[in-house]
């Protein structure tokens, strides 16, 4: 959980292959509706490897390395 001094909170859940925003105190909930970021889907997502919560100023990024020859560096 990311808890900020102003009371804003974001809960990020990790999975075997990525993560998703489970809950947020922001009003619009766009960060939750962005869905999961995984090793399999990041290149097809509008925001790529990121889930962003603008009202709470939170940006979470899946780090992808070139250890896998089929995945480009990000």
Specify the pLDDT at position 14. Answer: 96
Answer whether residue 71 is part of any domain.
Answer: no
Which residues are 23's β-sheet partners?
11
Confidence of residue 64 (pLDDT cuts 50, 70, 90): confident
Residue pLDDT, tens place only, 3-32: 999 999 999 999 999 999 999 999 999 999
Domain count, the chain: 1
Residue 15 dihedral angles phi and psi, to the nearest 5°: -125, 175
**Residues spanned by the domain of 15:** 2-61
Confidence of residue 73 (pLDDT cuts 50, 70, 90): low
Percent of the chain clearing pLDDT 70 (strictly above): 88
What is the pTM (predicted TM-score) of this model?
0.82
Answer whether residue 69 is part of any domain.
Answer: no
Specify the pLDDT at position 65. Answer: 73
Report the number of secondary-structure helices (H) and strands (E) in the chain: 1, 6
Are 2 and 12 in contact, with CB atoms under 8 Å apart? yes
| Residue 37: exposure state from Cβ atoms within 10 A (0-12, 13-18, ≥19) | buried
């Amino acid at each position: 959980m990311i808890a900020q001094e102003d009371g804003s909170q974001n809960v990020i859940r990790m999975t075997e292959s990525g993560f998703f925003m489970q809950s947020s105190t922001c009003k619009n909930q766009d960060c939750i509706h962005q869905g999961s970021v995984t090793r399999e889907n990041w290149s097809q997502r509008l925001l790529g490897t990121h889930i962003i919560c603008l009202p709470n100023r939170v940006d979470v990024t899946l780090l992808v390395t070139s250890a896998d020859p089929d995945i480009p560096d990000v």
